Amino acid sequence: MTHRIVCAGDQFISAELLARSVEAALDGDVTPVLVGSAWPTEPFGEIDGVREAAGDPSELAAAVEGAAAVITHLAPITAQVLAAGKGSLQVVGVTRGGPVNVDLAAATAAGIPVAYLPGRNLNAVAEFCVGTMICAMRGLPAAAARLASGTWDATGFKYERTGLELAAATVGLVGLGAVGARVAQLLGAFGSRVLAHDPYLADAPPGVTLVDLPELLAGSDVVSLHARLTPETRHLIDKAALATMRPGAVLINTARGELVDRAALDAALESGSLRAAVLDVFDPEPPDPTDPLPRRPEVLATPHLAGASRQVAEQSAARIAAEVAAVLTGGRPTHCANPDALDPQ
């Protein structure tokens, strides 16, 4: 049986890559329909009730008619798109850790499971964290900014301006899920002392000490955020939390911008109580052009790139293709965002 599968790609995970992956997973029994978007050249946004989506839902709905599956990264899988697949669409596969670009209520009502990939970019994010820890602790963003402005600043060799090596550092991880656990594993190879705070864990992996948040903040040279955003964790790192941190500590946020009170962080950096910050996420995102944080020389600011690697694109395409193939051949997805679509009772 040949399966008609819509492969809705973008400039990170292309439609062609998705098509090759699903053809391999189904031994070539595929008629791929390629649909593309211009993300990230053009931003994603909210479209017809779904978030962080890129593409034209009307174009996608036309392509989905008669299709057995849709595989995508960011395409808007709206109620309109799902209705266009009525009678044929058996599964939606999303190459993301959270399928916010899918109308899950509409998919569940239609009995269409949504497969997704939690932890899909954990290694890329973990490597980014460790690499930027080294940069921030050693003062490299500020030193690079001074050199780019034409100043050769040899005073970076003054003892009081030098930073710690990871082997001598205590690193505190706020959240010890898939990414946090991988960061801890990498830090173990450097010889770091690793603290973690995660209220959902009873036991820590080897080499990690679980502590409460105040103890972690007070005892860490680097604090790296890996918590989910919830009403309880919004502005988890506020003025009071920043005041608890060690003088000269470094803050790294690759999780969600809303975890940090940006005004309080700006004040902590201005006062010199923090040495540096690494910010890959912002609140709002993108940040306002007048936001002073990204322009600070002691801040290494990147536009939500921690999870961007070739391996993430290639492995995500292969993994979601396998999930979709499992459903189309009578199996179940490993991770289903709407399990009620599989077991309506």
Query: Which segments in the chain show pLDDT lower than 70?
Result: 344-345
Take residue 147 and report the two structure tokens written for it: 């050199």
- What pLDDT does residue 343 have? 80
* CATH number belonging to domain 122-301: 3.40.50.720
Asked if the domains 3-120+309-341 and 122-301 are classified in one and the same CATH topology, the answer is yes
| CATH class of the structural domain 3-120+309-341 | alpha beta
d(CA 70, CA 85): 9
Structural domain boundaries in the chain: 3-120+309-341, 122-301
pTM (two decimals): 0.89
Cα-Cα-Cα-Cα torsion 17, 79, 230, 341, nearest 10 degrees, comes to -80
In one-letter notation, the amino acid at residue 142 is A
Q: DSSP 3-state assignment of 299?
A: strand
CA distance linking residue 60 with residue 73, whole number of Å: 13
The helix/strand/coil state of 241 is helix
d(CA 335, CA 326): 12
**Is residue 4 packed enough to be buried (19+ CB in 10 Å), middle (13-18) or exposed (0-12)?**
middle
Kindly list the distances between the CA atom of residue 189 and the CA atoms of 68, 135, 266, 271, 321, in Å, as whole numbers in the listed order. Answer: 46, 17, 32, 34, 33
Phi, psi dihedrals of residue 143, rounded to the nearest 5°: -65, -40
- For residue 337, the model assigns a pLDDT of 97
pLDDT tens digits, 21-45: 999 999 999 999 999 999 999 999 9
- 8 A C-beta contact, residue 227 and residue 197: no
Instruction: Name the residues annotated as catalytic.
Output: 256, 285, 304
